């Protein structure tokens, strides 16, 4: 019997020729053989069934028709870092605070007229300068209120030497705002009459008499004289203007600058 060789490692359909000689007779037959391709292995744990050359049973034939299903492959999600791994506690607190502040601001803008936010303006209090209390026998200027006594040339010097008080000396010894005369006041510096040095031309001096009648006098001139009433610069004699009652409704104020010099202030109503 002769037959052709078949390469079984290569899939395909092959014809196998069988020939035999029996005596004088010669017999030749051709048989077709199919070589199937072997399936790849899916995993190390699963093996594909080896083709069985034996005749398949109905059960195995039915099973071979069903497609084999491999288990679904789960795709791993890309790893993401949690906020707690990227942010410090202070940063997380800031992230949580900002939305809360935003909600608060939105709530203020979305308020209805019935829920308005009222901003209380600070109350402004007007401050007024304290008014000077008017009292009898008092001179007031630049916030100073200075008491005086009606005395005259006989006792005026003794009164100012005995206490913190001003006294009348020349002119009309009794101050009056409606006698149309001059009254001459004296006082110590340093002492009660020291504020006299702050006066200048145009300043106001308010004087009340014993009857609490108020008269306002305006400073007209300021000079410096010696003890005899002469101007220390020009030598002009101001004694009569200082001590006389003439010249209309006016006052003359005098205080010491030194042992020989005196400050004289003339004021007219």
Cα dihedral 203/209/215/219 (nearest 10):
-30
156 within 8 A of 168, measured Cβ to Cβ = yes
Residue 104 gets the label, from left (phi > 0), alpha (psi -120 to 50) or beta, of alpha
Confidence of residue 8 (pLDDT cuts 50, 70, 90): low
Say which residues have a Cβ less than 8 Å from residue 17's Cβ, sequence separation at least 6: 2, 3, 4, 28, 29, 30, 31
Quick: pLDDT tens for 140-163.
999 999 999 999 999 999 999 999
CATH code reported for the domain at 138-268: 2.40.260.10
Structure tokens at 225: 């004289």
Q: Is the four-CA dihedral 84, 87, 88, 94 of positive or negative sign?
A: negative
| 21-51 as b/e: b if 16+ CB within 10 A | eeeeeeeeeeeeeeeeeeeeeeeeeeeeeee
Query: Residue 198 pLDDT > 90, yes or no?
Result: yes
Quick: pLDDT tens for 215-266.
999 999 999 999 999 999 999 999 999 999 999 999 999 999 999 999 999 9
What's the pLDDT at 18?
66
What's the pLDDT at 42?
45
Bridge partners of 186, per DSSP, are: 167, 254
Q: What percent of the chain has pLDDT over 90?
A: 50
Rounded to an integer, the average pLDDT of 54-67 is 47
**Domain residue spans of the chain:** 1-36, 138-268
Q: Which residue has the higher pLDDT, 4 or 78?
A: 4
Quick: pLDDT tens for 20-60.
666 666 677 776 777 676 655 444 444 555 444 444 444 44
Structure tokens at 178: 């409606």
């Amino acid at each position: 019997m002769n037959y052709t060789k078949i390469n079984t490692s290569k899939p395909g359909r092959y014809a196998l020729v069988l020939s035999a000689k029996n005596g004088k007779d010669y017999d030749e037959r051709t048989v077709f053989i199919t070589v199937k391709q072997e399936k790849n292995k899916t995993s190390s744990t699963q093996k594909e069934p080896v083709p069985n050359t034996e005749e398949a049973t109905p059960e195995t034939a039915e099973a071979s028709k069903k497609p084999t299903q491999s288990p679904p492959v789960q795709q791993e999600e890309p790893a993401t870092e949690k906020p707690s791994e990227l942010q410090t506690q202070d940063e997380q607190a800031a992230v949580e605070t900002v939305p809360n502040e935003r909600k608060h601001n939105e709530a203020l803008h979305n308020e209805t007229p019935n829920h308005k936010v009222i901003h209380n303006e600070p109350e402004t209090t007007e401050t007024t300068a304290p008014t000077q209390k008017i009292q009898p026998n008092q001179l007031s200027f630049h916030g100073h209120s200075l008491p005086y006594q009606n005395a005259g040339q006989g006792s005026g010097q003794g009164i100012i030497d005995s206490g913190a008080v001003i006294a009348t000396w020349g002119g009309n010894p009794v101050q009056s705002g409606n006698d149309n005369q001059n009254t001459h006041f004296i006082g110590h510096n340093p002492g009660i009459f020291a504020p006299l040095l702050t006066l200048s031309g145009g300043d106001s001096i308010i004087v009340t008499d014993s009857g609490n009648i108020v008269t306002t006098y305006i400073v007209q001139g300021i000079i410096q004289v010696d003890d005899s009433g002469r101007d220390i610069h020009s030598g002009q004699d101001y004694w009569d203007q200082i001590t006389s009652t003439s010249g209309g409704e006016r006052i003359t104020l005098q205080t010491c600058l030194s042992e020989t010099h005196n400050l004289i202030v003339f004021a007219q109503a």
